[in-house]
Amino acid sequence: MVATVETKQQVEEMAGEYKYGFTTDVEMEMAPKGLSEEVIRFISAKKDEPEWMLNWRLKAYRAWLKMEEPDWAKVDYEKIDYNDIYFYAAPKSQDKPKSLDEVDPELLRMYEKLGIPLREQEVLAGVEGAARVAVDAVFDSVSVATTFREELLKAGVIFMSISEAVKEYPDLVKKHLGTVVPQRDNFFAALNCAVFSDGTFVYIPKGVRCPMELSTYFRINAENTGQFERTLIVADEGSYVSYLEGCTAPMRDENQLHAAVVELITLDDAEIKYSTVQNWYPGDKDGKGGIYNFVTKRALCKGKNSKVSWTQVETGSAVTWKYPSCVLAGDNSVGEFYSVAVTNNYQQADTGTKMIHMGKNTRSTIISKGISAGKSHNTYRGLVKVLPGADGVRNFTQCDSLLVSSESGAHTVPYIEVKNPSAQIEHEATTSKISADQMFYCRARGLDEEEAIAMIVNGFCKEVMQHLPMEFAVEAQKLLGISLEGSVG
């Protein structure tokens, strides 16, 4: 492993700048600012949606109007003026491209700048023998390029933008959409239901092991545009899929709102592995700008013996509010949550998970690693809940916090609600500080300050990083180093 060397190079390349801080000059089409039924009708019409979809959105909107923005998280940000946001922006194009050759070269250049992993670039370039990773590239709010769709279809796998799925597979979408995260689940989820622009739909049929890892790159591009992604993944009986989500955003002065919803459903014996590397613009050194990342991610392990594994590496965003959760309904189902959250400068992260044990002999594992640098605040908030009928439940939770600076904060807020006496719940938590001794030891072996931090932090996060797919892990290791750049002192 030469991750730290790579990190160093990366850090040098960055030279103190946010690498992904650029905008792409693609003509945009926008809905008027603010939110109203008219705007929702506009979005729905733009996407040429069926009536039921529009009604579903409107219902969510009406519910949202009566809801309050949550304020229980340990985050502090300026109140969002929902009337000052564009809720829809799409690149202007007449027809959807049929292949990558037809994709706006400006967009492809952007992917290049984004440093989409070599493996994927090879795939995009059609290099023979290149490992196959399908990329459903989400550019602002509309999917503009989808690769490998046909090959996936051969395996019976459906992998497409959710707006296409609404039209092509209305029954499947109708059956599952909103069943894991209901419209009224929370303020941000309701908002997403009303205005979601696009996202991904995946369906893995019975007994199929998805032939490749599915990957989506999210990117926010237009100024003042909320990003409301919607992802729905359904793994039918005995199927398996690994899904990668990674994101970067251009530099902006004004805060941008992102309120995504991800729903996962596993039926009997099915498994979904969902990995995220989140690297949105965190704001500058003084805490100006940056993305508000208010995400609702939840999995329903509906079938028996099913499994959902969330792995996340969160390094970006000014404010993060995110709790990828598992509802373990099926007997013997398994939920896992592996998380690394890094905050630097003035970033605030309140993240964790909820494991709701409903079925018998359900098991969950939570490993959370929080790293706080600069003047940031990093909170783990988690719930382990065991319902009365759930016999033989087991949970193991480990929350470790690492403080890089003395002005940062690490907080751990575990909630445990057990209504069945047979449950075995374990919780371990540690907080430590990078020691001067560790730093000097690394430096006395030829590592500069940034490399030393990157190495120590990567070691701290190892238990989580090893759950990431290989090509993601390398990227994520670099990210950790980059995110902590300038945090020393």
Partner 1 sequence: MLKITDLHVHVDGTEIIKGLNLEVKAGEVHAIMGLNGAGKSTLANTIAGRDDYVVSKGSISYQNKNLLDLEPHERVGEGIFLGFQYPVEIPGVSNLNFMRTALNGVRKYNGLEAMSAAEFMKLVRTKAGDLKMSLDMLKRFVNVGFSGGEKKRNEMVQMALLNPKLAILDETDSGLDIDALKIVAEGINAQRRDDTAVLLITHYQRLLDYVQPDVVHVMIDGKIIKSGGKELALELEEKGYAAVA
- Minimum CB distance to partner 1 smaller for 5 or for 127: 5
Q: Considering the rule CB under 8 A, would residue 4 count as an interface residue with partner 1?
A: yes
Of these, 5, 45, 65, 127, which contacts partner 1 (CB under 8 A)?
A: 5
How far apart CA 458 and CA 134 sit, in angstroms, is 28
Which stretch in 220-228, 264-272, 295-303, 461-469 sits in contact with partner 1 by CB under 8 A? 461-469
Q: Quick count: other Cβ atoms within 10 Å of Cβ 41?
A: 15
| Stretch touching partner 1 by CB under 8 A, among 3-11, 117-125, 153-161, 268-276 | 3-11
Q: How far is the CB of 121 from partner 1 (least distance, A)?
A: 23
Cα dihedral angle (386, 392, 398, 399), rounded to 10 degrees? 0
- Nearer CB in complex with partner 1: 232/465: 465
Contacts 24+ apart (CB under 8 A), 167-176: 167/48, 167/49, 167/50, 169/201, 169/203, 170/50, 170/52, 172/201, 172/203, 172/234, 173/201, 173/232, 174/52, 176/232, 176/234, 176/263, 176/265
Binding segment for partner 1 among 136-144, 246-254, 323-331, 440-448 (CB under 8 A)? 440-448
User: Between 397 and 436, how does the x/- string for binding to partner 1 read (CB under 8 A)?
Assistant: --------------------------------------xx
Specify the residue, 284 or 448, whose C-beta has the smaller distance to partner 1. Answer: 448
Shortest distance in whole angstroms from residue 416 CB to partner 1: 26
- Min dist CB 470 to partner 1, Å, is 15
> According to CB under 8 A, which residues from 211 to 270 bind partner 1?
none
Which residue, 247 or 434, is less far from partner 1 as judged by CB?
Answer: 434
If the CB atoms of residues 9 and 23 are measured against partner 1, the closer one turns out to be 9
Q: What type of residue is 382? A: G
274, 237 Cβ separation under 8 angstroms: no
Tokens of residue 156, six digits? 């019976």
The residue type of 398 is Q
Interface with partner 1: number of residues (CB under 8 A): 27
Take residue 359 and report the two structure tokens written for it.
Answer: 């079925």
Site map 441..460 versus partner 1, x via CB under 8 A: xxxxxxxx--x---xx-xxx
**Distance separating alpha carbons of residues 143 and 137, to the nearest angstrom:** 6
CB of 138 or CB of 454, closer to partner 1: 454
Min CB(332)–partner 1 separation in Å: 31
Least Å distance, CB 457 to partner 1, is 9
The residue written with tokens 């990957």 in the block is 215
Residue 470 sits in the site that holds partner 1 (CB under 8 A): no
**Region from 2-10, 24-32, 109-117, 204-212 binding partner 1, contact rule CB under 8 A:** 2-10
**Closer residue to partner 1 in complex, CB, 383/429:** 429
Bridge partners of residue 232, in order along the sequence: 201, 263
The least distance separating partner 1 from the CB of residue 5, rounded to whole angstroms, comes to: 6
Query: Shortest Cβ distance from residue 341 to partner 1 (Å)?
Result: 16
Q: Which part of the chain contacts partner 1 (CB under 8 A), choosing from 55-63, 157-165, 319-327, 438-446?
A: 438-446
The verdict on 462 binding partner 1 (CB under 8 A) reads yes
Nearest of 280, 224, 279, 284 to residue 255 by alpha carbon: 224
Q: By CB under 8 A, what part of segment 259-278 binds partner 1?
A: none
- Rounded to 5 degrees, φ, ψ at 5 are -65, -45
Closest distance between partner 1 and the C-beta of residue 488, in Å?
Answer: 10
Taking the complex as a whole, the smallest distance from the CB of residue 440 to partner 1 amounts, in Å, to 5
**Choice between 263 and 400, CB closer to partner 1:** 400
| Cα→Cα distances 21→113, 221, 231, 286, 432, Å | 10, 10, 25, 16, 33
Distance from C-alpha of 438 to C-alpha of 452, rounded to nearest angstrom: 8
Q: How far is the CB of 430 from partner 1 (least distance, A)?
A: 11
Q: Checking DSSP bridges between strand 261-266 and strand 291-301, what pairing results, if any?
A: parallel
Secondary structure letter of residue 221 according to DSSP: -
Rounded to an integer, what distance in angstroms lies between the CA atom of residue 51 and that of residue 100?
32
- Which residue in the set 12, 51, 68, 437 belongs to the binding site for partner 1 (CB under 8 A)? 437
Q: Give Dmax (Cα) for the chain.
A: 67
User: Residue 138 in contact with residue 91, Cβ under 8 Å?
Assistant: no
Tokens of 127: 């290099």
The minimum distance between CB 277 and partner 1, in angstroms, equals: 19
Cβ neighbourhood burial of 66 (10 Å; 0-12, 13-18, 19+) = exposed
Copy the structure tokens of residue 274: 């969902």
Among 39, 73, 210, 461, binds partner 1 (CB under 8 A): 461
- Kindly state the smallest distance separating residue 441's Cβ from partner 1, in Å: 4
The DSSP code for 161 is: E
φ, ψ for residue 451, nearest 5 deg: -65, -40
Nearer to partner 1 (CB atom), residue 431 or residue 438: 438
Nearer to partner 1, 259 or 434 (CB): 434
Give strand pairing partners of 327: 300, 356
The binding site for partner 1 (CB under 8 A) comprises 1-5, 435-438, 440-448, 451, 455-456, 458-463
